[in-house]
Every structure is written in structure tokens, then in C-alpha cells.
Amino acid sequence: MRIFARGSAVPVEPGDTILSAMKRAEKNIHSVCGGRGMCGTCRVAVAEDWLHQLPPPAAPELRLLRVLKAGAPNHRLACQTILEPRHDGLSFSPDPPPSRILLQQEINQ
């Protein structure tokens, strides 16, 4: 099973979230709170044609998504999105760069 981050294939193992699959594949995704659904830095934009395949966000995820700036209906938290076999091929984009984090990393280098 694979998902696609901006067109780039990411292998998925059973029980993975989008975040855990991305991290194992060493793809660039942020997660300040460590996948606890608290910080919102792992927000992704799911391709519209895949959005209805995902279960709706639980109340805590929805609450956080609502307070994040520049929100959109197709946004989900990568750490809260558990992947199932029916999501094979799911396509998404990590939260749009340049984020404040990327900016800070550039300053540090």
C-alpha cells in the first residue's frame, strides 16, 4: 500500500497514520507535539477526491483544525489520520511551505 505526498510515493504499513508513514519514509513533515494532535504542524491538505474516503475528524481534531490559520475543508492532521487498505493511493500535500518552522530552520543554518 502507498500514499502520495505531492506525487511522491510513501509506503504504508498496517496501523500507520499519515504522519508515521511519512516519518518512516523520512519525508519532510513537521510534528512539534510528537503526534499528539495538539500542535497542528502536521496539517495536510487531502486531495478532494480522497477526502470522502476518510472517516470524519473526531471532535479534538476538528477543534484544532478550526483554530489553525488559513484553514480549508480538506485539511486533516496527519497524526490523527489512520490509514486503511481502502486508502491505497491517497494523495495529499503537507501544510503549505514556507511555514514559520522552515523559515526558522533556514535562519539556524
Partner 1 sequence: MSAVIEDTQTKLEAVGPAFTKEQMLLMRGKVRAIIHQIAAAVKPGMVEEDAVEMAKNLLAENDMVRGWHDVYVRFGTNTLKTFGEASDPGIVLKEDDIILIDIGPVWEEWEGDGGDTFVFGGDPEKQRCAEDARKLFHTVRHKWEETSMTGKALYEFAVEEAKALGWELNMDLSGHRLSDFPHAAIYDGPMADVDFKPSPLLWVLEIHIRHPTAGYGAFFEDMLLDDSYFP
Please name the residues in contact with 72: beta carbons below 8 A apart, sequence gap of 6 or more.
45
Q: Is 57 in the site for partner 1 (CB under 8 A)?
A: no
Beta carbons of 92 and 50 less than 8 angstroms apart: yes
Sheet containing strand 8-11, strands side by side: 8-11, 2-5, 91-94, 43-46, 75-77
Q: Which is nearer to partner 1, 63 or 86 (CB)?
A: 63
Q: Which is nearer to partner 1, 9 or 103 (CB)?
A: 103
Q: Is 40 in the site for partner 1 (CB under 8 A)?
A: yes
Q: Is 96 in the site for partner 1 (CB under 8 A)?
A: no
Q: Is 34 in the site for partner 1 (CB under 8 A)?
A: yes
Please compute, for residue 19, the number of CA atoms within 13 A of its CA located in the half-sphere on the CB side: 19
Residue 17 beta carbon to partner 1: minimum distance, rounded to whole angstroms: 16
Q: Which of residues 63-82 bind partner 1 (CB under 8 A)?
A: 63-64, 66-68
User: Closest Cα to residue 107, out of 31, 68, 29, 99?
Assistant: 99
Which residues of this chain interact with partner 1, rule CB under 8 A?
Answer: 32-34, 36, 38-41, 60, 63-64, 66-68, 100-101, 104-105, 107-108
